Amino acid sequence: MKKPYKIIKIGGNELSSPEFIRGLSSAIKEEQKKYACILVHGGGRAIDQLMEKLQIEPHYRDGQRITDKATLEIAEMVLSGKINKELVFELTVIGVEAIGLSGVDRKLLQVEPWGQEMHLVGRIVKVREDLLAEYCAQGVIPVISPISIGPAGKYNVNADHAAGMIAGALKAEEVVFITDVPGVLVDDNVIVQLFDIEVQALIQKSTIQGGMIPKVNAALDALNYGAKSAKITNLAGFKKQSGTTIIRKGKIMAQKNNTQEIIKKEKEYVLSTYPRLPFVLTRGKGSFLFDSEGNQYLDFGAGIAVNALGHCDEEVVNAIQQQAQTLSHVSNLYYTAPHVELAEKLCQLSFADKVFFSNSGTEAIEASLKFARKYGRAKFGEGKTKLVAFSNGFHGRTFGALSITAREKYQAPFKPLVPDVEIVPFNDIAAAQQAIDDSTCAVIVEVVQGEGGVNLAAQEFLQALRTLCTQHAALLIVDEIQTGFGRTGKLWAHQHFDIQPDMMTLAKALGGGLPVGATLMTNDVAEPIVAGDHGSTFGGGPVAASAALVILQRTQDPDMLAHVQKISAYLCSELNALNLPQVVGIRSLGLMVGIELNVDAKPFYEKAHEYGILLLTAGSNVLRLLPPLTITKAEVDQFTLAFKKLLMEKTI
Ligand SMILES: Cc1ncc(COP(=O)(O)O)c(C=O)c1O
C-alpha cells in the first residue's frame, strides 16, 4: 500500500551539529516505516558563516534572505554542495536510501521572482510532484536543497516555503518544521494550537517574528494547498518527547476577523442576561487567554474560579478526550465507573460519607436544601424546615439558591421565593443565636464570601454556628463552590477554621471546565434520602467525572497547596507595595484576593483587558482576583505591573 507523505523541513542553524544530523537521521529512519518521507533543508548559519568569511553582509526581510548574485552562489555552494551531501551521506550510512536533489534538477521546483526588493528570491509556482512520487514509490528519500529554477535562471528559495509548497502539492499527511525551539512561543509557553486567523495578528504584534514568520506562513501554504496537518517543533518534539505547535485550518479560518460579527449575532440571538466584555476569546493555555484578534490576556479570573489548573491543562484535556471517545453519557439509570471513583476520592479527602452529583453550583445548593428539609422532616417531624443563611452571601440563581441569596436586586423580580428562610448578618454571632432554633433544619454559609466581596468568616463565628447547629439538631452546610479545591491554600476552605460541616457543596473548579456539581454529606444526613428523592440526567456523567478526578488529584497535592499559600503571600505583598491611592485594603485567603477600593470597581474591571489582564469584581467596590492555582511568580509580576498601570489610568 502507498505510504502517506511526510515532509520534514530542517533549518540551517540546527545542521551545524553532527550529533543533531545523526539524531535526525535515525528519527527519519523510524518515520520511514510509516511514511514516505521527503527531507527539505535550509542552510542559514553555514551560509552566514561563509558570507562573513567573504566579507559580504547578509540582509533579511521577514525572515527571508535577500539574495543577490554573489549571495546566490554562496547559498548554492552551501546548500547543494555541502549540507545536502552530508544529509544524504548520514542517511545512507544508517541504511536509508536517499537521493540528493536541488530544485533545479529536472525542474523539480519552479519559481517566479518573490519581488524586486528580494532580488533572486523565488516563490514556488510549480512542484514536480510526479518526480517525488517516483522516488518515494521506490522507497528512496528525496533530500532537497531549495535552490530552484525560474525566469532569470537560478533562485534562492526559503526552505520553509519550499517544504510547505511540496507538502501542499503532494497533499501530504503532515509537514513538520524542525527548528531549535519547541514550537511557536508566547512568553516561553508553546502555543499548542494555532489557527490561521490568529497568525497574521500575532505577526503584526511581533509575537511571531524573524525566522518563525516563514515557518507559520509555509505551514498555512501547505494546509491551503491540501496538506492535512502542519507542525512546528524541535528534534525532541519530532521524536514526540516534547511540545509542538500544530497549525490548523478550521472553521474559524473561513470566518476571517469576525469579532464584530460574533458580538452582533450574540446580541441578536442570545438572551441578554450577561454584560460581556467586547472581545471574542478563541483559545487558552495555562494562565493566558487569546482573542480572535490575537490579543493575549493574563487571566486572573480563571473562569470565575473554575480553571484551577489554568487553561487546557494537558492532563485534563487527555482525560476528557479519552473518556469522550470511550463513553460520554448514559444517564443515571446505569452504573459507570468514573463517578464512583470520584465519589470515593471526595469522601476519602473530606468529612463526607456520600456524594450526590449534579451539573452546577446552584444545583449542588438545591440538592443540599432538599436533603436538609427531608432530613429535618424524617428525623424530627413536620415543622423543622427553616433555612438560615447570611447577608452578602451568594449561592446561585435557581429558586432555592436564590431564596437564600439575600440580594434584593437578584430576588425582587422573581418573588415569591421559597418560604421559611431567615437571613442573618454575616459574622454576627448574637443574631445567629437568635435565628437558629429547633425549627431550623439547616444553616448555610460560605467560609469566604466570594461574590459578596471576599469577606472572611471569623473563626469564632463559624465555631458558634457549629455549636448552635449541634444544639438545635440543624445541619451545617458549607458552600465551597468557589473556595473548594485548593483555592484558599487548603483543599477545603473550612479546614482553615477547624470546623466539621454536615454537608458541603462543590462545583466550579471540580470539572476542570466541564459543568459538574457535587453535594457531600455524612451518613447521618444521607440516611433518610431514598431512590427517587432527587436526580439529574447528566449529574456526574463519565466525561465530567474523569476530568474531576484529575482536578482532585492535582489540587489535593501538598506541593500544590503549598504553592498556593506561597504565591498568595507574594501576590499580596506585591499588591500592597504598589501603594495605590484607591486601595483601602486587601483581603485574602490563598488565591482568593479582594482589593477594596474607595471608588467604584466596575470601570477597572471593564478596562483591565486593555492592559492585557482579566480580573473580577465582588460587590460594588472590590476587585477580586482568582488566578489559576498554577500561576507563576513571573506571571504575578506581569500582572502587578499591568494592574498598577490600570489603576493609574487617568480616564477612570
Ligand atoms: C459560593 C457560590 N455558591 C454558588 C454559586 C453558584 O454556582 P453556579 O453559577 O455554578 O450555579 C456560586 C457562583 O458564583 C458561588 O460562588
Do residue 588 and residue 609 come from a single domain? yes
The pLDDT value recorded for residue 389 is 98
Tell me, using a 6 A CB cutoff, whether residue 190 lines ligand 1.
no
Are 305 and 355 found together in one domain? no
**pLDDT of the residue at 180:** 87
Q: Are residues 450 and 504 located together in one domain of the fold?
A: yes
Residue 198: which domain range?
5-247
Helix or strand run (H / E) with residue 614: strand 613-614
Contact 6 CB / ligand 1 (< 6 Å): no
Same domain, 430 and 521: yes
Residue listed under C-alpha cell 444553616: 443
d(CA 164, CA 225): 9
pLDDT of 242 > 80? The answer is no
Find out whether the beta carbon of 396 lies less than 6 Å from any atom of ligand 1: yes
pTM of the full predicted structure?
A: 0.70
Q: What total number of domains does the chain contain?
A: 3
Residue 304 lies in a domain: yes
Looking at the chain, the whole-number percentage of residues with pLDDT higher than 70 is 97
Averaged pLDDT score across all residues of the chain: 93
In ligand 1, which atom is closest to the CA atom of 508? Answer: 10
Does residue 577 lie within any of the structural domains?
Answer: yes
Predicted confidence (pLDDT) per residue in 369-419, tens digit: 999 999 999 999 999 999 999 999 999 999 999 999 999 999 999 999 999
Q: What is the mean pLDDT of residues 153-177?
A: 95
Question: Has residue 74 been placed in a domain?
Answer: yes
| Domain identity same for 352 and 374 | yes
Q: Given this model, what pLDDT does residue 18 score?
A: 86
What is the structure's pLDDT at 256? 46
Angle between helices 84-93 and 18-31 (to 10 degrees): 60
List Cα–Cα distances, 168 to 84, 129, 256, 302, 617, in angstroms: 22, 10, 21, 39, 49
- Judge if 359 and 431 occupy the same domain: yes
pLDDT score of 252:
43
Which residue's CA is the closest to the ligand 1 atom numbered 10?
A: 361
HSE-up of residue 644 (Cα within 13 Å, Cβ side): 12
Q: Do residues 341 and 273 share a domain?
A: no
C-alpha separations of 445 from 387, 427, 465, 504 in Å: 11, 10, 9, 10
Residue where a domain terminates, one of 556, 582, 612:
556
Is residue 297 assigned to a domain? yes
Pocket of ligand 1, candidates 304, 369, 444, 481: which has the most ligand atoms within 8 Å of its Cβ, to mutate? 481
| Pair 145, 266 in one domain | no
Residue that terminates a domain, selected from 524, 556, 588:
556
Q: What pLDDT is attached to residue 255?
A: 43
Number of CB atoms found within 10 A of residue 652's CB: 14
389 and 533 together in one domain: yes
pLDDT(66) > 90: no
Residue from 369, 403, 482, 624 to probe ligand 1 pocket by mutation (most atoms less than 8 Å from CB): 482
pLDDT tens digit sequence for 293-342:
878 899 999 999 999 999 999 999 999 999 999 999 999 999 999 999 99
* Final residue of a structural domain among 499, 528, 556: 556
- Whether 95 is in a domain gets the answer yes
The alpha carbon of 304 and the centre of ligand 1 are apart by a number of angstroms equal to 9
Do 531 and 517 form a contact (C-beta atoms < 8 A)? no
Q: How confident is the model at residue 541 (pLDDT cuts 50, 70, 90)?
A: very high
Q: Domain check: are 447 and 584 in the same one? A: no
CA angle 372, 552, 444 (to 5 degrees): 25
Q: Which residue has the higher pLDDT, 446 or 13?
A: 446
- Here the CATH number for the domain that contains residue 56 is 3.40.1160.10
For residues 498 and 615, state if they share a domain.
Answer: no
Terminal-to-terminal C-alpha distance of the chain = 67
- Write the CB contacts of 10 (distance below 8 Å, at least 6 apart in sequence): 24, 39, 40, 41, 42, 159, 178
CA distance 249 to 76: 34
What pLDDT sits at residue 62? 72
* Residues 443, 453 contacting (CB under 8 angstroms): no
For ligand 1, the distance from its centroid to the CA atom of residue 490, given in whole angstroms, is: 19
Distances (CA, A) of 324 to 177, 238, 269, 311: 31, 27, 29, 19
Query: Does residue 295 form part of some domain?
Result: yes
CB-CB contact of 652 with 334 (8 Å): no
How does residue 477 score in pLDDT terms, banded at 50, 70 and 90?
very high
Q: Is 450's C-beta closer than 6 angstroms to any atom of ligand 1?
A: yes
Residue 651 confidence class, pLDDT cut points 50, 70, 90:
low
Residue 320 lies inside a defined structural domain of this protein: no
Same structural domain, 551 and 565: no
Residue 241 pLDDT class (50, 70, 90 cuts): low
The answer to whether residue 253 is domain-embedded is no
- Band the pLDDT of 254: cuts 50, 70, 90: very low
Tell me what pLDDT residue 16 has: 79
| CATH assignment at residue 537 | 3.40.640.10
For ligand 1, atom 9, the nearest C-alpha belongs to 361
What is the band of 650 on the pLDDT scale with cuts at 50, 70, 90? Answer: low
Q: Is 507 in the pocket of ligand 1 (CB under 6 A)?
A: yes
